[in-house]
């Protein structure tokens, strides 16, 4: 199952509709997204503001090949 990427603008649009009395279920049906996704966006936005809706890369931590080899060597030697 692949994850869809949504723009910050789209997320804000959906949340604005929710604020204007659209239910999570109606938004789910209209945009073909799960209610849980919209609920997470809503909770994140309330807790951390609009910046919580920015796209984030899941590959933030990148390690060099040399570092990875060092970690493996350390692991193997105890």
What are 2-29's pLDDT values in tens digits? 567 899 999 999 999 999 999 989 999 9
What is the pLDDT at residue 61?
Answer: 64
What is the pLDDT at residue 29?
Answer: 93
Q: Give me the helices (H) in 1-78, please.
A: 8-19, 24-31, 35-48, 65-76
Q: What angle do CA 32, 3, 8 make, to 5 degrees?
A: 70
Measure the CA–CA gap between 5 and 53, rounded to whole angstroms. Answer: 11
Q: How confident is the model at residue 1 (pLDDT cuts 50, 70, 90)?
A: very low
Let me know: does 53 contact 11? Beta carbons within 8 Å.
yes
């Amino acid at each position: 199952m692949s994850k869809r990427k949504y723009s910050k603008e789209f997320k804000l649009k959906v949340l604005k509709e929710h604020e204007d009395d659209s239910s999570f279920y109606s938004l789910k049906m209209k945009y073909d997204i799960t209610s849980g996704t919209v609920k997470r966006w809503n909770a994140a936005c309330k807790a951390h503001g609009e910046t919580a809706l920015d796209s984030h890369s899941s590959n933030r931590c990148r390690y060099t090949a040399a570092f990875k080899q060092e970690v493996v060597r350390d692991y193997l030697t105890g």
